[in-house]
Amino acid sequence: MAIDVDSVRADTPGCANVLHLNNAGASLPPAIVLERVKAHLDLEAEIGGYEAADRTEDEYERVYASVARMLGCAPQEIALVESATRAWDAAFYALAEGFQPGDKILTAANEYVSNYLAFLQVARQRGIEIVVVPGEENGEISLPALQAAIAQHDHRVKLIALTHVPTNGGLVQPAAAVGRIARAREIPFLLDACQSAGQMPLNVDELGCDMLSATGRKYLRAPRGTGFLYVRQALLEKLEPSFLDMRSATWTARDSYEIRKDARRFETWESSLACRLGLGVAVEYAMAVDLAKIAERIAMLAEQLREQLARIPGVTVRDLPGKANQIRCGIVTFTRERHAAQTIFERMRDRQINVRVTAVGSTRLDMEQRGLTEMVRASVHYYNTEEELARFSQAVAAM
Ligand SMILES: *Cc1c(COP(=O)(O)O)cnc(C)c1O
């Protein structure tokens, strides 16, 4: 059975107000997510914040179980944090503690800006080198080039870091194939799944990643200010967090402490419980809708949108030419002759259509390679309709 679009739209209050094509920025949450957040804030106001936490302790534990079930891992391998960036940073900077001058990080040309900034900082501080593995013509990381880079640098390769779905187009990186290579060579593999979580099924064993970071607010439809990190059990105790607090460690005697053994070693004590309970509801909702069906519908809608936009004179859809049967995801990027991306964004905003401008600084290596400075990003979700896509395309054509 296909997704019941009328019913998921009825669950989503925002659908009545806006034509939302900024799902790669932040999706519209289902009402039950919103209600869960509000109810917890009410409870905190009514009985006290700590007391509200005591009352919802079991439900809070189940948030870990929900995220773990979605990823196919154990709840002990999940840390809940405030953003995907903090999740990614927690893993990366912990690993970086062991980097020596001359060590290499292997990554791809469309790695996310914040990740790349962290590479640059650690390169400067520790004398390591960032190796950008060349891409295929369709933008996918080249697996032979990855193998060759590993062979060339051998034991100096200390990390493979990949963005599963880069923020600036429909590309889905062959993460599982990268994972197999990483595992065969026993190189830690950090996967940024920020745009793929909630958009497609994810299984950490199939992906072969040792660490995975994601956000709540994008395709998962959870509140802003939520994110999570997965760290494989075998790696957990080898990764010492860069920061400690009373959540991540215990002060056992005057001069000693013990770091937690589970992934919560990467958490801090304070957090927005309301938002995290909302995250749990959003994850359960996504699994109930069915992530395989979600992926299929998003890919179908996005392909339709690409075709419609490509027919508009002056519009260029900015995905690289794909291979036969290549599946692209919900992120559709385009430019239009004589129209700045910002102008298109503003015109759409005036019509209650939400799109976004993606600028060179978000994925600098890829955008510079392709001579692009900015694009319009229209990212579809399963609750969008074919009628909405037609309305959006007509609005772009009418400019
Ligand atoms: C949005 C995004 C991030 C950052 O997520 P935050 O929750 O804002 O920290 C990281 N990686 C990718 C690929 C993204 O699209």
Ligand 1 atom nearest to 24, measured from its CA: 15
CA-wise closest residue to 364 among 158, 132, 194, 124: 132
* Alpha carbon nearest to ligand 1 atom 14, residue: 194
Q: So what's the pLDDT on residue 325?
A: 86
Phi, psi torsion values for 229, nearest 5 degrees: -125, 135
Q: In what helix (H) or strand (E) does residue 188 lie, and over which residues does it extend?
A: none
Pocket perturbation via mutation, ligand 1, pick of 110, 168, 192 by most ligand atoms within 8 A of CB? 192
Q: What is the pLDDT of residue 373?
A: 94
Atom of ligand 1 nearest to the CA of 218: 1
Name the token pair of 202: 């994810």
Q: Environment class of residue 180 by beta-carbon count within 10 Å: exposed (0-12), middle (13-18) or buried (19+)?
A: middle
Tokens of residue 193, six digits: 């799944």
CA of 25, closest atom in ligand 1: 1
Asked if residues 351 and 345 have their Cβ atoms less than 8 Å apart, the reply is no
Distance 367 CA to ligand 1 centre (A): 17
> Among residues 190, 196, 240, 195, which one has the least CA distance to residue 210?
190
pLDDT of residue 322: 86
Give per-10-residue mean pLDDT for the chain (399 aa): 96 98 98 98 98 98 98 98 98 98 97 97 98 96 98 97 96 98 98 98 98 98 98 96 97 98 98 98 98 98 98 95 90 97 98 96 91 96 98 97
Output the pLDDT for position 320.
87
Alpha carbon distance 62, 122 (integer Å): 36
Tokens of 81: 């944090």
pLDDT value, residue 201 = 98
What does the alpha-carbon distance between residue 162 and residue 186 come to, in Å, rounded to a whole number?
16
Domains of the chain: 5-29+290-397 (3.90.1150.10), 33-287 (3.40.640.10)
Distance CA 154, CA 136 (A): 22
Residue 399 C-alpha to ligand 1 middle, in angstroms? 31
Instruction: Give the distance (Å) from ligand 1 centre to CA of residue 84.
Output: 5
Nearest residue by C-alpha to atom 5 in ligand 1? 84
| pTM summary value | 0.98
Q: Write down the pLDDT at residue 324.
A: 85
φ and ψ at 163, to 5 degrees? -95, 120
User: Which of 194, 195, 202, 333 to mutate to test ligand 1, by most ligand atoms within 8 A of the CB atom?
Assistant: 194
Q: How far is the CA of 124 from the centre of ligand 1 (A)?
A: 23
* Residue-by-residue DSSP string for 29-93: PPHHHHHHHHHHHHHHHHH-HHHHHHHTHHHHHHHHHHHHHHHTS-GGGEEEES-HHHHHHHHHH
